[in-house]
A and B are shown apart, each in its own frame.
Chain A
Amino acid sequence: MASRLRKWQTEYLGRTLVTAFGLFVVVLTLGILGFLGYKGSATFIDYGHSLTEFLISSKWSPGEAGQSGSIGSAVFIIGSLEVSSLALLLATPLSLAMAIFIAEVAPQRLSTTLRSVLEIFVGIPSVVYGWIGLAVLVPFIADLFHLNFGFSVLSAALVLALMICPTITSVATDSLAATPNEYREASYALGSTRWQMIWHVKLRAAIPGILTGVVLGLARAFGEALAVAMVIGQSNRFASSLLAPTNTLTAVITANMGNTTTGSEYNDVLWSMAALLLAISLLFILLIRVISRRGQAS
């Protein structure tokens, strides 16, 4: 009897626990997906708006308290896309260069130090990045380009780039460091220089990991609300240039979720935006999965 209890403890208890928690995570994810789908569809079902209006129109005056208005969100969708893709464009080359330096070039001690510094950077709360952006970057941009205000797509993209740089660098560094040492030796033995070895073999072997880092960065940039809301200017118009203010999905949700009543058109369209954010994030992840699988196969 005692031995059976012991067997149960050693063999089944752990398995049952991890299975239960694993299932819980799956259920939770599905639950969130379902909830967002349900709340997000109210705009179209209860208020009779079309999906095309939501995605393509830029006429934005959602109704409150049972009234109905216009829910065109194109400005915010475009705003989110341009800010995060610009941030990614700025951050990726920089992060790759840093990752190569840390993983391959820097001496051991410097490399260890830099890695810990990166971890600290990854952990800085976004509100801090936003505040620094607001206090330093926004006035600087205004000064530099002789603008009345520095709130702009560029400010938001720079703040985001700074924010996601450590994430991408950190993942890319780990991925480079994890490539087998045999590749290094084999390349040197064929008469390659260090740079040829890094460029042709190490980077190639690390591509799936690097892409994972880029997706994580993109997801963070795309989903970041607070830091962007603080420097984007929250103007409900398309940005005429990189120096003009606009608005993003996340910033609109953050700014308005507390000021709208549940069940109103305004509140429902915010939920639709949240569902859209999730859908786009899923799309990014799928896209990169496909790319990295191609990269591995070739």
Chain B
Amino acid sequence: METETCVQTSALNLYYSDFQALRSVSLAIPRKHITALIGPSGCGKSSFLKVLNRMTDLIDHCRVEGQVLLADEDIYAAAVDPIMLRKRVGMVFQKPNPFPMSIYDNIAYGPRLHGQKGKHQLDEIVEKSLAAAALWEETKDRLKKSALSLSGGQQQRLSIARALAVEPELLLMDEPTSALDPISTGKIEELVFELKRSYTIIIVTHNMQQAVRISDMTGFFLLGELVEFANTNNMFTAPQDKRTEDYITGRFG
């Protein structure tokens, strides 16, 4: 399988004060694919996401060692502005987190930050982003209404649309469906599947069926270590590592 690499880490270590949360993680995330990261709570998979858009910068006493290449550029190089990096690497969180403003303003927030002021262009971005997140039909008549008036599932799709509005190269999703009901979860999964045509997506999930349903590649983390990284089908049918097998067959975790 010959695919382009979107982001690549080598010998990545992450420390919170004295605690080492990631241990020499090296992997290459393929472009325009969905990569699922699984593993028990506290295994470092969410920390790994935060390294990729440098949200780790915002945590006190947090230290990153090793190399992270996004499109062959070292994102921890001194010349890299984390603000600009986060425009290229979008993030969707566990809990839907729309801002307390209108649906329109939520989507326009990112583009406005980055200097887009034209009313016409913003209208276009808002429509395009909401449509990409399969939310346009439901919201086109109430764009000026508060985003907090949406249901939980809609709010999460809004968060996705908001992240898409700044046209990221890479979209990080940290357990995006763990706070949602099964129907909303299904919609988000369909959406994520659609999005991989244009975006590279890394999704952290506790739900192994979800990883099987939507991802192309799966990485299994345990105690800060990347135990196995493989094609999703191979990993779930013929895991190479005993620990992976124990985890996916439910023997622990």
Q: Which of A's residues lie within 8 Å of B, judged by CB?
A: 180, 182-183, 185-193, 196, 200-201, 204-205, 296-298
With A182-B93, A182-B97, A296-B100 as known contacts, state yes or no: A189 contacts B113, CB within 8 Å.
no
B102 at the interface (CB under 8 A from A): yes
A187 to B55, CA, bound (A): 11
Stretch at the interface among B40-48, B64-72, B158-166: B158-166
B205 at the interface (CB under 8 A from A): no
6 more A-B residue pairs beyond the given contacts A191-B110, A191-B166, with a C-beta to C-beta distance below 8 A: A182-B95, A186-B93, A189-B86, A190-B87, A190-B162, A296-B100
10 contacts between A and B (CB under 8 A): A185-B91, A187-B99, A187-B109, A189-B86, A190-B163, A190-B166, A192-B113, A296-B100, A297-B146, A298-B102
B101 at the interface (CB under 8 A from A): yes
Instruction: Select from chain B the residue with minimum beta-carbon distance to A200.
Output: B109
CB neighbours of B163 from chain A (8 A): 189-190
Nearest CB in chain A: distance from B45 CB, A: 17
CB neighbours of A200 from chain B (8 A): 109, 113
Size bracket, chain B contacts? 20 to 34
CB neighbours of A204 from chain B (8 A): 99-101
A239 to B205, CA, bound (A): 69
B58 at the interface (CB under 8 A from A): yes
Nearest CB in chain A: distance from B58 CB, A: 6
B11 at the interface (CB under 8 A from A): no
Interface of chain B residues 73 through 117 with chain A (CB within 8 A): 83-87, 90-91, 93, 95, 97-102, 109-110, 113-114
Instruction: Select from chain A the residue with minimum beta-carbon distance to B106.
Output: A186
B53 at the interface (CB under 8 A from A): yes
Report whether B100 and A196 are in contact in the complex, using a CB–CB cutoff of 8 Å: no
CB neighbours of B91 from chain A (8 A): 185, 189
Task: Return the CB mask of B4-48 against A: 1 if under 8 Å, else 0.
Answer: 000000000000000000000000000000000000000000000
CB neighbours of A205 from chain B (8 A): 99-100
